[in-house]
Amino acid sequence: MRYPGAPGTVTQAAWEAEVPRRGDLGDVATLVGSGGVCVLSGAGISTDSGIPDYRGPSGAARRHAPMTYASFVSDPDARHRYWARSHVGWPQIARARPNDAHAAVAALQRTGLVTDVITQNVDGLHQAAGARDVVELHGALARVVCLGCAATHDRTEVQERLAAVNRAFDTDVAALRSTQVNPDGDAELPAEVVERFTMVACPTCGEGPLKPDVVFFGESVPRPRVTACFERVARARALLVLGSSLAVMSGLRFARAAHRAGTPVTIITAGPSRGDDLASLRLASPLGEALPALVSALRA
């Protein structure tokens, strides 16, 4: 799949032109109005909250590949680099607030039309908007787990401990906190700055290493979580995919499962999606406009 902004890729206009259009918002309203909808959301629903996506236009400026699980657990230098960048990027994630699209999903759930919400995002914004029983497929940045003793910690507390031992580092990077923050919450930092960062140990066992409670690239989603998602998709009358290119199997498998079961799949996201051939309805409308309009149409 090609994306705009990087060398050898297509322009934004050409990228958007590749999106197949099937149906309109009225068709989506008819489908959602029948109830039993399972929402599967991706990074595109959070871009209006200031969090860039991985593959769309807001993610085009990313210069480094995302952290992989293998590198994190086996390479102390890679782990140190991740935490330095995450320490700088976390405040932007923590300040992010739900946007109109998150609010619309929560509103649809309150009416009973949306029965389940599965998100590939790790930002917690669906819950902050009022959505209930959200399955966080890839975990949550707001939690930190110790790979040594398995204790779980609140990220805010870990951040405070990091700040206490990195006062000089924080002064050095103060001007960088407005730079590009990636969807997984880490910021771009020069190597010489990373070297000045100090990591902390696990508050429980005094060792570690600590890891954000998220699924890194190359890491498997816990099987019980995957099973729970398949169960929600299986009982749904429709699957509504919002802001996801479905570029990785982690999310695509649920769209494929719905399609195999004869459950209608609707996709609303900006650029091309790997699941476009599965969708009976396909819109490229901005979610911050389309979802509030959908809520209004269903209330009329």
* Average pLDDT, integer, range 45-67: 69
Could you give the residue numbers annotated as active site?
138
* Average pLDDT, integer, range 193-222: 95
Q: How confident is the model at residue 207 (pLDDT cuts 50, 70, 90)?
A: very high
Task: Give me the pLDDT at residue 6, please.
Answer: 44
- As a 3-state breakdown, the chain gives helix, strand, coil percent values, each rounded to 5, of 45, 15, 40
CATH level 3 topology of 20-51+98-138+221-300: Rossmann fold (3.40.50)
Q: What is the pLDDT of residues 136-186, one digit of tens each?
A: 999 999 999 999 999 999 999 999 999 999 999 999 888 765 555 666 667
- Tally DSSP H helices, then E strands, for the chain: 12, 9
Average pLDDT over the chain, rounded to whole?
90
**Does residue 258 surpass a pLDDT of 90?**
yes
* Average pLDDT, integer, range 229-241: 98
| Mean pLDDT comparison of 20-24, 140-144, 192-196, highest-scoring range | 140-144
Q: Can you say how many angstroms the Cα of residue 30 is from the centroid of all Cα atoms in its chain?
A: 27
**Does residue 106 surpass a pLDDT of 70?**
yes
Task: Give me the pLDDT at residue 184, please.
Answer: 65
Give the DSSP H/E element, type plus range, for residue 214.
strand 210-214
Task: Give me the pLDDT at residue 130, please.
Answer: 98
- The region of weakest confidence among 17-26, 49-58, 94-103 is 49-58
Task: Give me the pLDDT at residue 60, please.
Answer: 44
* Average pLDDT, integer, range 105-126: 97
Instruction: Supply the DSSP string of 91-139, one letter for each residue.
Output: HHHHH----HHHHHHHHHHHTTSEEEEEE--SS-HHHHTT--S-EETTE
Task: Give me the pLDDT at residue 7, please.
Answer: 42
More confident residue, 87 or 12: 87
**Does residue 16 surpass a pLDDT of 70?**
no
| Coil, helix or strand at residue 273 | coil
Task: Give me the pLDDT at residue 159, please.
Answer: 97
Please list, in sequence order, all residues whose beta carbon lies within 8 angstroms of the beta carbon of residue 8, skipping any fewer than 6 positions away.
none
Give the DSSP H/E element, type plus range, for residue 153.
strand 152-154
Q: How confident is the model at residue 187 (pLDDT cuts 50, 70, 90)?
A: confident
Task: Give me the pLDDT at residue 5, please.
Answer: 46
**Does residue 281 surpass a pLDDT of 80?**
yes
The Cα–Cα gap between 296 and 104 comes to: 9
**Does residue 58 surpass a pLDDT of 70?**
no
Structural domain boundaries of the chain? 20-51+98-138+221-300, 61-95+140-214
Neighbouring C-alpha atoms within 13 Å toward the C-beta of 253: 11
Task: Give me the pLDDT at residue 56, please.
Answer: 53
The Cα–Cα gap between 284 and 53 comes to: 16
